[in-house]
A = this chain, B = another copy of it.
Amino acid sequence: MVHAFDVLGDPVRRRILELLSKGEHASGEIVAVIGREFGISQPAVSQHLAVLRDSGFASARAEGTRRVYTVETAPLREVDAWLDRFRGEWLPKMDALALEVARGKKKRRM
């Protein structure tokens, strides 16, 4: 299986995820924006969408002949978790209360 960071290693895919972070979008809308911004073809964008689907970063539902894409957060949370090991470096003095609150929230949601 492909690693989350490998997927994010491509600027086109990152841009697509940025678009999806604002809400759902049909394939055609994504093709329009990406095509304009990166100058690549419809199949190229479609292939990137396939990568995002296969890696769990996005899901698509059929709506007539359109495919509407939604961002999925699981792999993004993986990335976030990977960053945890470095957080001590840039948040060296997060106090007990803040940690408590954060940890409490996390637990509650599992």
Instruction: List A residues at the B interface (Cβ < 8 Å).
Output: 3, 5-6, 8-11, 14, 17-18, 21, 71, 73, 76-77, 79-80, 82-83, 85-86, 89-91, 94-95, 97-98, 101-102, 105
- Whether B90 pairs with A86 at a CB distance below 8 angstroms is no
C-alpha gap A5/B82 in the complex (Å): 13
Q: Of all chain B residues, which has the CB nearest A98?
A: B101
C-alpha gap A14/B73 in the complex (Å): 21
Given A5-B14, A9-B5, A85-B21, A77:B90 Cβ within 8 A: yes
- Whether B71 pairs with A76 at a CB distance below 8 angstroms is no
Partner of A76 from the list B9, B17, B73, B86 (CB cut-off 8 Å) is B86
